[in-house]
Amino acid sequence: MIHRNARDGLWLDPEAQKMLDEAPMDENGLVVLEDALLDINDYESFMNPKILKETTELVYDWEFCSSFPNIRCMVKRPTGILV
């Protein structure tokens, strides 16, 4: 799943980050949000995408693991792809 309007280096929309920072916590220390931070219309899903083309220019950046949020590693990726 990708965000249709993703911006470089931005993991969470600034307004969503502000809501998260100001949100109350429950007795377990978990953030309680009354409003959803994500709009489903901002995302596009690909099921088993096939990469048709990719740029020759590569960049290194941190990649986080969805299953283990505290784990990250430096990966090399093309700057653009066509799926």
* Average pLDDT estimate for 31-46: 68
List, for residues 15-36, the tens digit of each pLDDT value: 766 776 777 777 777 666 655 5
* Average pLDDT estimate for 45-66: 88
- In sequence order, the 6+-apart residues with CB closer than 8 A to the CB of 78 are 54, 55, 56, 57, 58, 59
* Average pLDDT estimate for 40-66: 86
Round the average pLDDT of the chain to a whole number and report it: 77
pTM: 0.41
Query: What is the percent of the chain where pLDDT is above 90?
Result: 17
